[in-house]
Amino acid sequence: MRVRVFYHDKCFDGACSAALFTRFYRERIREHAQFEYMGLVHRAGALFNEADFTGDENAIVDFKYSASPRITWWFDHHQSAFLTLADASHFEQEQSNTKFYDPDFRSCTKFIAVVTQQRFGFDPAPVNELVKWADIIDGALYDGPQTAVEMKEPAMKLTMVIEANQDPHFIPGLIPRLAREPLAEIVAAREIAQRIPPLMERHRRSIEILRERSECKDGTIFFDITDYELEGYNKFIPYYLHPACAYSVGLSKSSFRTKVSVGSNPWAPLSHFENLAKICERYGGGGHARVGAISFPPDKLDIARRAADEIVAELRASYRANAS
């Protein structure tokens, strides 16, 4: 039995979700199944390639819904989980009892742990550390921006490695280890430990670039770093630099997309926050109520910048209205 697991790439929760699903499947479905892993990223245009769904079973975790009949398992927690109304309707009529969705969970890893324990008798206790840190990192449950930015914990270092990764074989090789090894042991392994010093230097440099490029006005930070190769920067740096601000909007660029990142400060004492997933959906993106993103083709910087400007104006107006 060959199982292909499609997961949210360059994402700690995505990798952990794939790892937890693997452990669950081996323990409660088929012990000797062979696993293959493929990362998925948000980009302009089609997100799925039907020709990739070649497993005897195909699972998607921590990523949008596919109505393909070849997809046999699905877990997601993003508010913007459905590309179309037709996809949402297809899921609502799903009778397989192997596809699950709940946007109230902070992390998909925790969602998988709860569902598989309740529905299939799986015991997630041996990987409680994995579940705990996926929930902290994806739910931004840090004590403050210093914890999120200073990168002291093994899970934070591993998140940095995952988000900066450019090797298509690295995360598929990491996922089975996440399913069985402590995070400190994984981070200490030579092939991972050697990646950390240059990434920490890049991280320190990104803090200085964002310090120079970011502006906080009317409770909303804006920055444009499209002339740097900095996609995958720590998304809490803006609040580390501007702790009084409630929102951040950033423009970044990579080889396959121009990205507008929209976030909210988990530590801001604002009484009302705009639903950022809903805002991003208007431009073809999505996410969660408190954090979202939009992907544009790499050559559409002008369109992405216009979208970012409009979102900044909307959030600044909202902040003025709710802070008065």
* CA separation for the pair 256, 295 (Å, rounded): 9
Q: Are residues 86 and 219 in the same domain?
A: no
- pLDDT tens digits, 105-114: 999 999 999 9
Q: Which residues contact 323 (CB under 8 A, 6 or more apart)?
A: 219, 270
Domain range for 318: 206-323
Q: Are residues 74 and 18 in the same domain?
A: yes
Q: Are residues 86 and 107 in the same domain?
A: yes
φ, ψ of residue 251 in degrees (nearest 5):
-105, 125
Q: Are residues 115 and 219 in the same domain?
A: no
Residue 324 has a pLDDT of: 65
Q: Are residues 146 and 250 in the same domain?
A: no
Q: Are residues 171 and 123 in the same domain?
A: yes
Q: Are residues 56 and 176 in the same domain?
A: yes
Residue 282 has a pLDDT of: 96
Residue 270 has a pLDDT of: 87
Q: Which helix (H) or strand (E) holds 63?
A: none
Q: Are residues 151 and 78 in the same domain?
A: yes
> Model pTM greater than 0.85?
yes
* CA separation for the pair 221, 237 (Å, rounded): 11
Sheet with 34-40, strands from edge to edge, namely: 34-40, 2-8, 57-61, 73-76, 99-101
Q: Are residues 175 and 105 in the same domain?
A: yes
Does 111 fall in a domain?
A: yes
Q: Are residues 115 and 20 in the same domain?
A: yes
Taking each helix axis from N to C end, the angle separating 108-120 and 12-28, rounded to the nearest 10 degrees, works out to: 10
Q: Are residues 39 and 127 in the same domain?
A: yes
- pLDDT tens digits, 169-184: 999 999 999 999 999 9
Residue 24 has a pLDDT of: 98
Does 200 fall in a domain?
A: no
> Residue 78, Cα to own-chain centre: how many angstroms?
9
Torsion-angle region of residue 62: left (phi > 0), alpha (psi -120 to 50) or beta?
left
Does 201 fall in a domain?
A: no
Q: Which helix (H) or strand (E) holds 216?
A: strand 215-217
Domain boundary among 159, 193, 227: 193
Does 230 fall in a domain?
A: yes
- Give me the residues of the chain with pLDDT under 50, please: none
Residue 177 has a pLDDT of: 97
Provide the domain count of the chain: 2
Which tokens sit at 11?
A: 């994402």
Does 159 fall in a domain?
A: yes
Q: Are residues 174 and 68 in the same domain?
A: yes
